[in-house]
Amino acid sequence: MIQLNNVSIYLISNGRTLVDGISFTLNPGDRTVIIGEEGNGKSTLLKLIADPALIADHAEYSGSVNVGRHRIGYLPQELTEPERAMPVKEYLAADEEKLWLAESLAAETGLDPAILYEDRPMKTLSGGERVKLRLVKLLTDEPDMLLLDEPTNDIDLDTLVWLEGFICRFDGGVLFVSHDETLIENTATAVIHLEHVHHKKVARHTVANVPYREYMADRERALSHQAQVSKFEHDEFRKKEARWREIYEKVDTAQRNLSRRDPSTGRLLKKKMHSVMSQGRKLEKEKEALTEAPVSEWQIDLALPEVSMPGRKEILRFSCEGLFSPDGERLTAGFRLNVNAAEHVAIIGRNGVGKTTLLRLIESELKKRRDLKVFYMPQNYFELLDGYGTPVELLAPTGEKDAVTRARTYLGSVRFTKDEAESPIERLSGGQKAKLLFVKMALDGYNVLLLDEPTRNFSPLSNPVIRGMLRDFGGCVIAVTHDRRFISEVCERAVKLTENGLEEASPLFPAG
């Protein structure tokens, strides 16, 4: 088993507590998900368990981490730069025995086993292909405990289903971070919830040995019950306090109006005031014992601007003879795609089939239209964010006072602190960068949104809010996505890109 005892993690830069005194055990067969907003220490906690040296450059910790003699397989969110430059076969670095296992695993995930022997750099693979290959490499070492940091990023729907089954079948323990609510609900048997409350000044955690959906329902009930009890107790206390104040003011007024010629009444009033003050001290003690109103980490309080577009007006009539990779390989046969003005369309398909290529071509077509204001959100956020210093500078490039104030207000609505709003964008987490782009959408008033995996970096707690924002958006949404809840809740239509072209995908995927 893996055991943590009273572990706290602190940022070296400012001493901020990321995790405060957490203790838990991961046994073989356990499937535990870590949830929480971006920047709350989920990835740092996984790194600490995998190897304390991985956090040494930015964090310190106290408490004990005991991994025993387990063979731990750790999947970080991203490849390192040297790994991205490695040829595929060099990255895999498998001997003959492991290659046999790697081929079998690759076929299970939907990868062509021939990719294992290629010389092209890892960075030239699609995002999904990289994730699958990294999983294959990890599993060829036959670990008995898995630490997975966002394993669902960029993988297609077929691989998501495979990954769910694999996690459920795995004999060892699995500790993972994921933003995919459907996968979490279908796999996790326990939940670790990391929160930062009171304007991110207080770190707290919950360890619950129940499935995710049960945890969220229990949490909602507990918060609701606490809120009701707190309101009742505070209402009753205010009534008591008002009655006490009324008595106090009467006695105080009587004392001030008392004639010096009536010492007997004065003694009685003094005694009465002593009793009133004693009751006041008891009330203060009562106040300290009142049930506090629940404090939880709020996520997003943002709305996209109201947009009204004629639903049946066709804004896109796209046709092509096929999609091709950068090296000229044909990915798909020819196809057509027509989209109406207020339509919400999901583009699905296996990794590497050309979904991002299609979205970029659609962007190129729509940006020719003067009647449309088009926003493109890429998977790699730095395509839009590179060159800007801070979030405020991105949102208020003129530096005008009113624009800066508005930018800060909007950033506050997605939980940016003052320091984060004025820190370099490159230091932000993936989730914070995604939130920053959504703030830009809200501020700049677009009527067409082209989104490449828009929910991939939002927490399970923020994702419902993001889906609601996009579902209620009155303009056009065209999104490449593998998020089953997103497809079900946001999109009226899904199209599947395959080698044979584009086809309507029906029925839409259920929410799970």
326: which 2 tokens?
Answer: 């950068």
The pLDDT value given to residue 428: 83
Please give the Cα distance from 379 to 389 (Å, whole number): 20
Query: Has residue 248 got a pLDDT over 50?
Result: yes
- Give 353-384 pLDDT, tens digit per residue: 899 999 999 999 999 988 899 999 998 888 88
Please enumerate, as own/partner, the contacts of 139-144 that have beta carbons within 8 Å and a separation of 24 or more.
Answer: 139/73, 139/101, 139/105, 140/92, 140/94, 140/98, 140/101, 140/102, 140/105, 141/71, 141/73, 142/71, 142/101, 143/70, 143/71, 143/72, 143/73, 143/172, 144/28, 144/70, 144/71, 144/171, 144/172, 144/173
Q: What is the pLDDT of residues 181-230, one digit of tens each?
A: 999 999 999 999 999 887 778 899 999 999 999 998 888 888 787 788 88
Write the pLDDT tens digit of every residue in 33-73.
999 987 789 999 999 999 999 999 889 999 999 998 889 99
pLDDT tens sequence across 273-316: 899 899 989 988 888 888 777 666 666 788 888 887 776 788 99
Highest mean pLDDT among 27-31, 99-103, 237-241: 27-31
* Burial of 439 per CB tally in 10 Å (0-12, 13-18, 19+): buried
39 vs 88: CA distance, rounded Å: 32
Q: What is the pLDDT of residues 411-432, one digit of tens each?
A: 988 888 888 888 888 878 788 8
pTM, rounded to two decimals: 0.79
Q: Could you tell me whether strands 335-340 and 314-320 are parallel, antiparallel, or unpaired per DSSP bridges?
A: antiparallel
| Nearest-angstrom CA–CA distance, 57 and 54 | 7
pLDDT at 243: 92
Q: Which pLDDT score, from 0 to 100, does residue 259 have?
A: 66
Mean pLDDT computed over every residue of the chain: 88
Give the contacts of 313 (CB within 8 A, at least 6 positions apart).
Answer: 340, 341
Please state at what angle helix 401-412 crosses helix 430-444, rounded to 10 degrees: 130
Residues in CB range of 16: below 8 A, 6 or more apart: 10, 200
